[in-house]
Amino acid sequence: MSNLTIENLAGTLQSGNVDGFLGAGKQNVSAPEAPTLRAMQAEGMATPDVSSAGEAAKGFGQMLTESLEKVNEAQISADKSIKELAAGRTKNIHETMLQIENADASLKLMMQVRNKVLDAYKEIMRMQV
């Protein structure tokens, strides 16, 4: 049995090989349903738009990367402030503490986002196809 993925599904439907697709899934589709699938494909109803899903995933990945960069910058800024305070180059302990707390809060938020993404991934992996 072949792996059933979005790419395989889209390729099968676009190539018009509905009969080959019918045997690839876990569910058995009866022969009378094959003409219905062909008719839906001809009308464009069965062809999924995977390009928009790819663009959405790219946007989420880019947003996540930018957020990680901001968290990293906050951590670097807080570390720099701590070193300057310890070296005596700055006397502003309030600004240092604000940067440390900002970095801590952004790191905690990023960890919660990571946990939610992992939970969503695990939930998707538990779904039966």
For the chain, give every domain's residue range. Answer: 6-43, 51-126
pLDDT of residue 61: 86
Helix (H, G, I), strand (E, B) or coil at 127: coil
Q: Is 99 a residue whose pLDDT tops 50?
A: yes
Q: Is 2 a residue whose pLDDT tops 80?
A: no
Q: pLDDT, tens digit, for every residue of 111-121?
A: 999 999 999 99
The CA–CA distances, whole Å, from 118 to 32, 65, 101 equal: 41, 16, 26
Contact 47, 13 (CB under 8 A): yes
Q: What pTM does this model have?
A: 0.52
pLDDT of residue 102: 96
pLDDT of residue 58: 72
Buried b or exposed e, range 68-96, using 16+ CB within 10 angstroms = eeebeebbeebeebeeebeeeeeeeeeeb
Contact 73, 67 (CB under 8 A): no
Average pLDDT, the chain: 76
